[in-house]
Amino acid sequence: MTGPLAGVRVVELGGIGPAPHAAMVLADLGADVVRLERASGGLRVGDDERLDHMLRSRIASVVVDLADPAGAEAALELIDRADVLVEGYRPGVAERFGLGPDTCLARNPRLVYGRITGWGREGDLAARAGHDLDYLALTGGLHAIGRPGERPVPPLNLVADFGGGSMLLVAGVLAALVERATSGRGQVVDAAMVDGASLLLQLMWSMRGVGQWRDRPGSNLLDGGAPFYDTYACADGRHVAVAALEPRFYAELVGVLDHAGALDADALPDRDDPRGWPHLRAAFEAAFAARTRDEWTTVFAGTDACVAPVLSFEEAARDTHLRARGTLVEVDGVTQAAPAPRFSRTAPDAPRAPRRAAAAGEDATAALAAVRARWGGEAVSSGGTPAAPR
């Protein structure tokens, strides 16, 4: 393993959504991650197990029956040697397995115990099931995403699951590892998706606080209300994204469209007066409808008008800019994201196919022994003596 987290050992208690995504990010950064799968195979969004694997390149997967005391003890023996534990169960589930933070930290006081839930561990909804869309709905964020008079639009599961969930958990785990270097002690990192999604919405809360954001979808600067921050249909039915927020970028946008003969710049209303936005939007709609998406991409090439083609996944995989950066890579014939961010000295390994220490139905004993041998060292004693710094 290479990367800035090389030498950091992580145990992930298998699940779906933000917890395995967080483990993937840690693995991408060089951590040695072992995922403990449920004996039942765990939860999956689909039947194809490759869906699970695409979140787990670089991660060794071992099937362990955590409901069996022997399986739970095997898990604890790994956790004794770990720097980080990641779990995404409902409140109380890890404790029922005997793997709660009190137990784990008593055995390994240097452990950073990262846990993530949707609703949080307190409050009226703490014990209820939910998914990304539910958590985003409660924060006000989902209400703000959509067109006036239309239903809110699910923004994939990027906001609560992966933005407010996984990435905030990763930030917390990394912060706790930094603090541990001074104190020598681990701690619990408690990430709730309703908290993280709310944090991502802080700009909107701030704008609302000073009267610059209205609780009406499609009427604000960043929600498609402003004609210069929206998407437009082209002659071929495909779309371009326009994000000319700053005046100088807006001036370049209008100048390019004027030069192309698509509109009359002198006839446009003041962009900063919302009363003129309907007329401005109509002018942009007519302009972009006059040519195909790719024709407009060529017209705007090399400009700072903040106009980009809206690409499908298939098109994104062929895009020259993304290919030049290596933003997307192919592993075993499957296109996926390359590790991010990038580091000047401690560049992580390139992604590779997942390695499974043991598959469902196989004997996991040898696989667990192999992981313990690879991690080496003595387990932290139950008496609570911290392990030597790594």
- Tell me the C-alpha distance between 205 and 208, whole Å: 5
Give residues with Cβ within 8 angstroms of 296, minimum separation 6. 234, 240, 288, 307, 309
Report the C-alpha gap between 131 and 118 in whole angstroms. Answer: 7
Question: Which of 177, 290, 173 lies closest to 234 in space, CA to CA?
Answer: 290
CA distance 75 to 182: 28
Choosing from 53, 131, 134, 143, which is the catalytic residue? 131
278 CB neighbour count, 10 Å cutoff: 11
Cα 307 from chain centre: 25
Contacts 24+ apart (CB under 8 A), 269-276: 271/227, 271/228, 271/247, 274/225
**In angstroms, rounded to a whole number, what is the distance separating the alpha carbons of residues 172 and 192?**
11
Residue whose C-alpha is closest to residue 215's, from 117, 318, 287, 144: 144
Is 349 considered catalytic here? no
Which of these, 110, 59, 104, 40, lies nearest to 78 by C-alpha position? 104
| Of 78, 75, 8, residue with least CA distance to 38 | 75
Q: Which of 32, 83, 161, 223 is catalytic?
A: 161
Q: How many residues in the chain? A: 390
Residue 131 annotated to the active site: yes
With 0-12 CB in 10 A as exposed, 13-18 as middle and 19+ as buried, what is 4?
A: middle
Residues recognised as catalytic = 131, 161
